[in-house]
């Protein structure tokens, strides 16, 4: 018997009023076809708290730590109503016990309910939605329709979800999985879908929309969707992706099961979940109230220092970490693609073992680097937010976030690349003094201040020389991207002359004597034309 089933879980019905008109929650941007999808004027959701976190009064401190820190439940997969074919594949994958989110969601998903699930990073959410969906699919008659559609915000994550699906499908010979992602050739995907139509499709939103609009027969195939999954649901429902998702959902039958998963579920997402889910959906939260959304076994630090020290601090911290851990595996998150490129170039010049990944790289280069980083140790991945969510690189020892994360959620997801599957990890957030206001948004997490290391002259000289060897073009592009990123941040862009001053500080930190000129058109697009202190060409 499963111990985390609905009979053991705490159920609470909760009625919530949706936000007022124009509050951004029910705004006019939601097409009628989508808003009518099971949503009434008042949303009702059932809150189910998994019993996985309940503690026994008689436990020792070590046992308590083991339970709280552990991502695994006491339930084995072979104790669950799962087909022998799936069980065999699960065994081959080396999984024996279910993780807490898997234990809490499986029975409810198998009952056909719509589910919004929140569980910490690296705790097996992918299997939690794939396994019950595959169980359902295995009972359907064979057809060329797509029956399970999984939408992911990044290409790397889509590939990874497909890989996990292939593991689980090992013995389900009649089921197949296909991936459609941007950055690859559309006709190639069209041909492969035609020659081998699979029941499971994993996609990024833009490319999926492309297929809906341009691939003959595709919109018919998608009418067969029985289960829709939004992985990293809060990201997919935020303003960047929301319109695409709404358009896609309009093509999919309303009679379906919808599963939304993420490590972060801000209140706004709960309020707009009716965009995708039926009323009366179950909200399953395996993060106990009062518990942090991050892992206790991951030490989180922040460091505050002027921008002109950031390259040296980065170099110093990395060198120290490498000296302390021969199996180091580090991700350095940067604010934008072009800043990522610059940081990667500077650190490479400093003879560190660097790989670079961001949206300006070709998809084949991204896939190559991602595969290499997954398998390797002794490597530093300098990354934009393309690696922030979902990607499962085992044994990452340290995550550095240089500059402001986009928001609290992005901070949590980036940090979640370390400390996966109950392992230890380290996180460092490196901020300039004027960025420290961000700390308010993570004050409920255990982030402690770290002392700025003393930077000796050899490090300073090394960094200066490395910067000198980096092409001016990279610095110019980084400056422009930096300005764009901070200009889109409301707290900072309010005072344009301050923004220009800060950008100049960044330019100096790269060793440039004067800030680069920016094309007029771009300045206009950023709303920064005629701002004193910015040069244009
Ligand atoms: N029951 C299990 N036992 C052992 N390992 C598991 C189990 N389920 C999943 N895993 C492994 O745990 C790792 C993390 O899983 P996954 O990437 O799905 O986490 P996640 O919760 O989706 O994380 P994120 O929030 O970062 O997306 C993967 O390597 C996966 O193969």
- What is the tens place of the pLDDT at every residue in 424-461? 999 999 999 999 999 999 999 999 999 999 999 999 99
Q: What is the pLDDT of residues 491-506, one digit of tens each?
A: 999 999 999 999 999 9
Statement: residue 307 has pLDDT above 50: yes
Q: Report residue 4's pLDDT band, with 50, 70 and 90 as the boundaries.
A: very low
Among 5-9, 356-360, 418-422, the minimum mean pLDDT is found in 5-9
Spell out the SS3 assignment of 412-458.
Answer: HHHHCCCCHHHCCEEEEEEECHHHHHHHHHHCCCCEEECCCCCCCHH
Statement: residue 348 has pLDDT above 70: yes
Closest C-alpha to 425, from 94, 102, 69: 69
Q: Report residue 44's pLDDT band, with 50, 70 and 90 as the boundaries.
A: low
User: Whose C-alpha lies nearest to ligand 1, atom 11?
Assistant: 124
Q: Which residues line ligand 1 (CB under 6 A)?
A: 95, 98-99, 102, 119, 121-127, 263, 390, 392, 416, 420-421
CA dist 252 and 149 (Å) reads 10
Minimum-distance ligand 1 atom for the alpha carbon of 123 = 21
| Ligand 1 mean position, distance from CA 501 (Å) | 44
DSSP 93-155: HT--EEEHHHHHHHHHHHTT--EEEE--TTS-HHHHHHHHHHHHHTTSPP-SS--EEEE-SSH
| Ligand 1 mean position, distance from CA 164 (Å) | 9
Q: What is the pLDDT of residues 139-180, one digit of tens each?
A: 999 889 999 999 999 999 999 999 999 999 999 999 999 999
Statement: residue 525 has pLDDT above 80: yes
Q: Are strands 72-76 and 97-99 parallel, antiparallel or unpaired?
A: antiparallel
DSSP 240-286: TTHHHHHHHHHHS-SSSEEEEEES---HHHHHHGGGTS-TT-EEEE-
User: Whose C-alpha lies nearest to ligand 1, atom 22?
Assistant: 125
User: Whose C-alpha lies nearest to ligand 1, atom 1?
Assistant: 98
Question: Torsion angle of alpha carbons 137, 139, 142, 143, nearest 10°?
Answer: -50
Minimum-distance ligand 1 atom for the alpha carbon of 160 = 17
What element of type H or E holds 200?
strand 200-203
- Segment 270-283 mean pLDDT: 90
Minimum-distance ligand 1 atom for the alpha carbon of 263 = 25
Burial of residue 97, with CB atoms counted within 10 A of its CB: 0-12 exposed, 13-18 middle, 19 or more buried: middle
User: Whose C-alpha lies nearest to ligand 1, atom 10?
Assistant: 124
CA dist 195 and 393 (Å) reads 32
Q: Which pLDDT belongs to residue 272? A: 84
Q: What is the pLDDT of residues 81-139, one digit of tens each?
A: 999 999 999 999 999 999 999 999 999 999 999 999 999 999 999 999 999 999 999 99
| Ligand 1 mean position, distance from CA 108 (Å) | 19
Statement: residue 55 has pLDDT above 60: no
Q: Which pLDDT belongs to residue 47? A: 63
CB 448 within 8 A of CB 423: no
| Ligand 1 mean position, distance from CA 85 (Å) | 20
DSSP 41-88: SEEEEEEEE-GGG---TT--HHHHHHHHH--EEEEEGGGSS--HHHHH
Q: How many residues does the chain have?
A: 537
CA dist 191 and 493 (Å) reads 47
| Ligand 1 mean position, distance from CA 190 (Å) | 30
Q: Which pLDDT belongs to residue 249? A: 96
Q: Which pLDDT belongs to residue 273? A: 87
Minimum-distance ligand 1 atom for the alpha carbon of 164 = 31
Q: What is the pLDDT of residues 192-201, one digit of tens each?
A: 999 999 999 9
| Ligand 1 mean position, distance from CA 452 (Å) | 34
User: Whose C-alpha lies nearest to ligand 1, atom 8?
Assistant: 124
| Ligand 1 mean position, distance from CA 251 (Å) | 30
| Ligand 1 mean position, distance from CA 99 (Å) | 8
Characterize 503-534 residue by residue with b for buried, 16 or more Cβ atoms within 10 angstroms of its Cβ, and e for exposed. bbebbebbbbeebbebeeeebeebebeeeeeb
Domains of the chain, CATH where assigned: 72-285 (3.40.50.300), 298-466 (3.40.50.300), 471-526 (no CATH)
User: Whose C-alpha lies nearest to ligand 1, atom 3?
Assistant: 95
Burial of residue 136, with CB atoms counted within 10 A of its CB: 0-12 exposed, 13-18 middle, 19 or more buried: middle
Q: Which pLDDT belongs to residue 9? A: 37
Q: Which pLDDT belongs to residue 239? A: 84
| Ligand 1 mean position, distance from CA 125 (Å) | 6
Q: How many CA atoms lie within 13 A of 92 on its CB side?
A: 13
Statement: residue 43 has pLDDT above 80: no
| Ligand 1 mean position, distance from CA 56 (Å) | 26
Q: How many helices (H) and strands (E) does the chain have?
A: 21, 18
The model's pTM: 0.87
Statement: residue 41 has pLDDT above 70: no
User: Whose C-alpha lies nearest to ligand 1, atom 9?
Assistant: 124
CA dist 31 and 260 (Å) reads 20
Q: Which pLDDT belongs to residue 46? A: 65
Statement: residue 337 has pLDDT above 80: yes
- Segment 67-87 mean pLDDT: 86
Q: What is the pLDDT of residues 399-430, one digit of tens each?
A: 999 999 999 999 999 999 999 999 999 999 99
* pLDDT averaged over every residue in the chain: 88
- Segment 358-385 mean pLDDT: 97
Task: Pick from 121, 421, 423 the residue to mutate for probing ligand 1's pocket: most ligand atoms within 8 Å of its CB.
Answer: 421
């Amino acid at each position: 018997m499963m111990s985390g089933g609905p009979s053991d879980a705490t159920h609470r019905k909760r009625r919530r009023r949706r936000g007022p008109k124009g509050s951004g929650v029910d705004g006019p941007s939601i097409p009628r076809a989508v808003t009518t999808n099971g949503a009434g004027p008042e949303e009702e959701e059932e809150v189910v708290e998994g019993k996985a976190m309940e503690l026994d009064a008689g436990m020792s401190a070590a046992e308590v730590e083991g339970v709280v820190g552990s991502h695994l439940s006491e339930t084995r997969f072979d104790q669950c109503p799962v087909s022998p074919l799936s069980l065999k594949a699960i065994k081959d994958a080396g999984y024996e016990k279910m993780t807490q989110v898997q234990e809490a969601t499986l029975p409810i998903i198998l009952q056909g309910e719509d589910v919004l699930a929140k569980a910490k990073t690296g705790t097996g959410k992918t299997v939690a939605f794939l396994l019950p969906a595959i169980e359902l699919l295995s009972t359907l008659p064979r057809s060329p329709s797509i029956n399970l559609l999984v939408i992911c915000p990044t290409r790397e994550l889509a590939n990874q979800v497909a890989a996990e699906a292939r593991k689980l499908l090992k013995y389900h010979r009649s089921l197949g999985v296909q991936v459609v992602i941007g950055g690859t050739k559309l006709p190639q995907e069209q041909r492969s879908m035609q020659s081998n139509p699979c029941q499971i499709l994993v996609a990024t939103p833009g490319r999926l929309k492309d297929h809906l609009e341009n691939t003959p027969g595709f919109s018919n195939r998608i009418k067969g969707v029985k289960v829709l999954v939004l992985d990293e649901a809060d990201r997919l429902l935020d303003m960047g992706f929301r319109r695409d998702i709404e358009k896609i959902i309009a093509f999919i039958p309303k009679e379906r099961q919808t599963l939304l998963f993420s490590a972060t579920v801000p209140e706004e997402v709960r309020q707009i979940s009716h965009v995708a889910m039926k009323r009366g959906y179950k909200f399953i939260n395996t993060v106990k109230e009062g518990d942090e959304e991050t892992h206790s076994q991951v030490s989180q630090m922040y460091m505050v220092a002027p921008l002109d020290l950031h390259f040296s601090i980065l170099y110093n911290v990395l060198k120290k970490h490498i000296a302390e851990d021969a199996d180091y595996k580090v991700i350095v998150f940067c604010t934008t693609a072009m800043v990522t490129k610059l940081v990667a170039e500077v650190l490479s010049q400093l003879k560190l073992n660097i790989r670079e990944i961001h949206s300006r790289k070709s998809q084949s280069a991204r896939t190559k680097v991602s595969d290499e980083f997954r398998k390797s140790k002794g490597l530093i991945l300098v990354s934009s937010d393309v690696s922030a969510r979902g990607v499962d690189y085992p044994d990452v020892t340290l995550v550095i976030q240089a500059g402001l994360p986009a928001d609290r959620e992005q901070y949590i997801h980036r940090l979640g690349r370390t400390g996966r599957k109950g392992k230890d990890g380290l996180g460092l957030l490196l901020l300039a003094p004027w960025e420290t206001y961000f700390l308010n948004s993570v004050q409920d997490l255990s982030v402690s201040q770290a002392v700025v290391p003393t930077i000796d002259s050899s490090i300073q000289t090394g960094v200066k020389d490395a910067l000198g060897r980096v092409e001016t073009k990279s610095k110019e592009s980084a400056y422009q991207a930096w300005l764009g990123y901070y200009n889109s941040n409301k707290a900072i862009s309010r005072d344009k002359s301050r923004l220009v001053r800060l950008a100049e500080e960044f330019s100096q930190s790269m060793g440039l004597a004067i800030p680069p000129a920016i094309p007029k058109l771009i300045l206009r697009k950023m709303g920064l034309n005629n701002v004193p202190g910015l040069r244009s060409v």
